Amino acid sequence: MQLEIIPAILVKSREELLSRIALIQDHVNIIQLDIMDGEFVPNKTIGLESLHDLPNANYEFHWMVFHPEKWIEKTPGPHMHLVHVETINDFDKLIKTVKQAGGKLGLAINPETPVEKLMPYLSNIEEVLVMTVRPGFSGQTYLANMEEKIRKIRELKPDMNIEVDGGVCLQTIHGAYVAGANYLAAASAIFSGEVKTNIENLKKTATRGCQE
Ligand code: DX5
């Protein structure tokens, strides 16, 4: 599976969004945009008003919102839409909305949600995002026991992209990779300091582990 280091952008203004995209655009293949509604999670980020005319890049939207369809239908383009399994009401409607918007569907799962909740949907989605923190804020501690979820999903879906998000850093990235995650998202470990070096170091450490 292709290994990707994915910067997660969690910001409150379009200005910050554009400056973060510009910082990392040339160094990665995929950019994650974190969208929070202040209801599904106790934090609010930029909303639809900030998402128009984005620079050309391969985006995945991590929808930490209730009623994701309402957001996705207003976000057209060939994007990956990562919707929380906890927010699904009508899966057929969700798939239809994503297709109409020209996007692809992946499902995200919170730490407290049992992995079994994903099972009915696994053959109809293109990616899984395993949260290794409770979504809402950057800079939290990685929950290593979520690696069991990653292992189970990898066993069932050897060819699916499995992403891990939350507390991913030089100390934790190898564990996530070994468990079976090939998409490794991070915010603080990328944006604190020099982004290009941080991305290179995360990539090396994912496969090799910490050398010190
Ligand atoms: C969690 C967000 C994550 C988070 C990652 O609420 O979905 O993307 O910002 O931040 P770090 O890498 O700092 O844990």
Site to probe by mutation for ligand 1, drawn from 165, 183, 184 as the one with most ligand atoms within 8 Å of Cβ, is 165
Distance of CA 149 to the CA centre of its chain: 16
Q: Is 62 in the pocket of ligand 1 (CB under 6 A)?
A: yes
Whether the CB-CB separation of 149 and 175 falls below 8 Å is answered with no
Instruction: Please give the pLDDT value at position 210.
Output: 74
Residue 81 has pLDDT above 70, yes or no: yes
Domain residue spans in the chain?
4-208
φ, ψ for residue 8 (rounded to 5)? Answer: -100, 125
- Token pair listed for 208: 């090799």
Banded model confidence at residue 211, pLDDT cuts 50, 70, 90:
low
Q: Is 140 in the pocket of ligand 1 (CB under 6 A)?
A: yes
User: Per residue in 109-162, pLDDT tens?
Assistant: 999 999 999 999 999 999 999 999 999 999 999 999 999 999 999 999 999 999
Which atom of ligand 1 sits closest to the CA of residue 8? 8
- Taking the centre of ligand 1 as the mean of its atom positions, its distance from the CA of residue 77, in whole angstroms, is 24
Q: Is 43 in the pocket of ligand 1 (CB under 6 A)?
A: no
Class of domain 4-208: alpha beta
- Region 102-111 average pLDDT: 98
Residue 165: active-site member: yes
- Token pair listed for 178: 């070994």
- Region 11-22 average pLDDT: 98
Instruction: Please give the pLDDT value at position 84.
Output: 98
